[in-house]
Structures are given as C-alpha cells and as structure tokens.
Amino acid sequence: MGDPKIIFRPNPQVMSTALPDGGSVLLDLESELYFGLNSVGTQIWSLIGEGHSAGEVIEQLADDHPSQEQSVIETDFWALVGQLREKALLAKADDIS
C-alpha cells in the first residue's frame, strides 16, 4: 500500500461531470482522454479534490461503507489512484507546480 500522508491533486486540465447514477466522467482537456468513475470512485475524486490525504480519504470511505473490510477499501483506493496517475489525471501534490 501507499503512504497515508500523501496528498494527491487532480490534474488542472481535467474536468469532471456528474452522472445521474452517482458516478462521473473525467475528461483530460489536453489529451482528450475520458475516464469513467462509479459512485465510490466519484467520492474518492471529490475528497482528493478537497485536499484530503490518502489516509483521510480511506478513513472516510471506511466510515461511509462500514460493511466493507478496511483492507478491501485500501486496496481499491490505491488501485484507482494508480490508474488515475498512470493516465496523468492525478498527481502527488508535490509534483504539481
């Protein structure tokens, strides 16, 4: 797993649009890449956008989804963050100038 103290920031070139089902679609205006998020992914995106650390996001998800095991929440969080970083939709706050 990753460092819970890390703070990520959305790429400033990425726009987010909410969908009726609670999910959202991200669009990187520079690369024209679309990326779909389900409702939990949208919650993660929103919390990251508000400046919460990785640990804070995971804690909030655990509070909101008490029937889900903490290890599954952490694994899913880091998997999504990895995908978003791979597609340059998200970066560590320290990496964005």
What tens digit of pLDDT does each residue of 28-48 get?
A: 999 999 999 999 999 999 999
Q: In terms of pLDDT, which residue wins out, 84 or 95? A: 84
Domain 8-95 fold: Outer Surface Protein A; domain 3 (3.90.930)
The length of the chain in residues reads: 97
What pLDDT sits at residue 63?
Answer: 97
Return the pLDDT at 96: 57
pLDDT in the model for residue 2? 86
Read out DSSP for 7-47? BEEE-TTEEEEE-TTS-EEEEETTTTEEEEE-HHHHHHHHH
What are the residue ranges spanned by the domains of the chain?
8-95
Quick: pLDDT tens for 50-67: 999 999 999 999 999 999
